[in-house]
A and B are shown apart, each in its own frame.
Chain A
Amino acid sequence: MGDFQTPPLRAYPVIPPIEVGAMAHSKPFTAKPDQQQALGFPGTLVENWEQVAVDRLGTLVAKSRALQVFLDSCVKCGACTDKCHYYLGTSDPKNMPVARQDLLRQVYRRYYTFAGRYFPKLVGAKDMTKEVLDDWYSYFHQCSQCRRCSVYCPYGIDTAEISMAGRDILDTVGIGQKYSNEIIGKVYTVGNNLGLPKPALRDTLDGLEEDVKDETGVDVRFPLDIKGADVLLITPSADFFAEPHIDGLIGYAKVFHAAGISWTLSSYASEAANFSIFIGSHSNMQKVAMRIREAALDLGVKRIVVGECGHAWRVAYSFWNTLIGPFDFLDRNYPIPQHICEMSHDLIKRGAITLDKDANDDKIVTFHDSCNVSRASRMGDVPGGQFIIPRAVINASVNKFYDMAPQTIHEHTFCCGGGGGLLTDDLIELRVKGAQPRMQALQHVVEEYGVNYLAAICAICKTQFSKVLPYYHFERDMIGSVHALVSKAIRLGAVNE
């Protein structure tokens, strides 16, 4: 499967000896000129790109005090060096977070610090050259912006912010990544990452209504563009299209049905994902998110609920209010916005839905904390709610649940290996290798407890795992939605008894 070696899974984690340049060849396809221009970027590398890049870096640092502190404050203590899943899986020293930061820091020092301007060699400052630019393109696309390293950094330096800034500069000089930029363009033209037009969406939802009717005998609806519904559900378009995602969508619909909540999807805002965050583009992030506000106002809903999507929840929880708010038209008795797990959890606690755990007795479950949910957001009203609530929903749906090792879950969770705009076939070697730390933790619970179901609440994680699990000799269909478990366990009334 591919011309590279899948890293071995070991009985205990081993920090690999460095292999200089091991992943220097890894780079994603570049965006076509029309894909660049649709996002407001130059189509190809601009003529005076050295100056444009240096100027853009200056602008970003001036705009973001955080970015400046991250670039100024590293003391090279080394705490981050063995924390990145891409370093652990590839052995390439440039995948150590400090080295990735230094790719940007060396240029920042050269042009924006006193020491770097006059004594560049003494402080590791470097000119903006083509070699540096190529390194940026390669290694800023080997960071999934998962922020695990920042948990261990004594200064709290956030490498995600640095790789976002790096990608912003690359787009500004005209070299964007095809995968992310093509997708953002599709949201502008069709409304979602997939390019799924309304008739196809309605057809897919009709098919799901049939399937659920066949399975349960109950008429569970999947409403689209219903004005006056109470809840607008915003979910990743993969939930309409891909396996195993679609079982999660069926789960959401059953929860709405069983609780008697009126809800709708929107064909205009048929996407929760917002890949603009991956390329560090604030203006595109706002433009993508604005569709959701417009749809909510147009449909006259009282609540917005967000489906299982990691970075979408980060954007919703941490950015929506200032990006597309205020949400003074929504019902303040509910969280604004509300995660689907928060909603289900609340309904379970109040006894508004009933679950039969025995329905999932064929499964022994573990939970993969998604990076953006774990380290960039929260759920509920207590610290750590983003860890407690999804597990509470799982534990209400299954009898057998076991967590993976403590240093690999909660805020210490390992990225699936495909986050941050890297979930593309042209980066498959990186994705497989970067999944190694998570696969190793999974292996332990498989051996110890017989785990056969890896639950997740992120579309990227689900697709990434269904691709990489077989490389590590696990079954492809081990990965599933949290709400697929709810779907199986939920009682839909007398007909389903």
Chain B
Amino acid sequence: MALVVNGQAIETDEEGYLANRSDWTEQVATEMAKIDNASLEPNHWEVINFLREYYEEYQIAPAVRVLTKAIGKKLGPDKGNSKYLYELFPYGPAKQACKYAGLPKPTGCV
């Protein structure tokens, strides 16, 4: 899949996830969202930044429950649920948000 940022091609897998996590920049995330016809608002960034911090510490994306709890604390209890996350990331919060955050796709029965 072609991902070009600042005239530079960035390697991704078949589904658009970064091949190298170190290639990630905020601009990469913005370009990935453009491919899906989405634009990233401050609330998207709250999720993306939390995912990146969590990954840095644990080498895996957080469980959906951990994510909703953290977002609820930051953005208010009405937003701390998976329904709200689906509104932000309609292709599924775990997968779409991980992609924009430059993390590998969660595997398994998820």
Report which A residues bind B (CB closer than 8 A).
29, 179, 182-183, 186, 192-197, 199-200, 203-204, 207-208, 211, 236-238, 240-243, 245-246, 273, 309, 423, 425-426, 459-460, 462-463, 467, 476-477
Contacts and interface: CB of A to CB of B under 8 A. Distances in A.
Interface in B56-71: 57-60, 62-66, 69
Contacts of B82: 243, 477
Contacts of B106: 194, 241
9 contacts: A192-B108, A193-B107, A195-B59, A195-B107, A204-B63, A204-B65, A208-B65, A240-B63, A459-B108
Contacts of A246: 63-65
A245 B106 CA distance: 15
B10 to A, nearest CB: 18
B14 interface: yes
A197 B63 contact: no
B110 A241 contact: yes
Contacts of A462: 109
Could you say which interface size class chain B belongs to? 20 to 34
A183 B15 contact: no
Contacts of A426: 14-15
B15 A425 contact: yes
Report which residue of B60, B63, B92 has the largest number of chain A beta carbons within 10 angstroms of its beta carbon: B63
Contacts of B92: 467
Interface string B48-83: 000000000111101111100100000000000011
Contacts of A463: 109-110
Nearest to B85: A243
Contacts of B110: 194, 238, 241-242, 463
The main secondary structure of chain A at its interface with chain B is: helix
A379 B39 CA distance: 50
B108 A194 contact: yes
Given A194-B110, A237-B108, A242 B94 contact: yes
Contacts of A245: 109
B20 to A, nearest CB: 14
Contacts of B95: 425
Contacts of B66: 203-204, 207
B107 A273 contact: no
A207 B66 CA distance: 7
A423 B109 contact: yes
A197 B107 contact: no
A29 B65 CA distance: 29
B65 A238 contact: no
B109 A238 contact: yes
A236 B65 CA distance: 16
Contacts of A204: 62-63, 65-66
B14 to A, nearest CB: 5
A463 B107 CA distance: 12
Nearest to A193: B108
Nearest to A424: B107
A339 B101 CA distance: 38
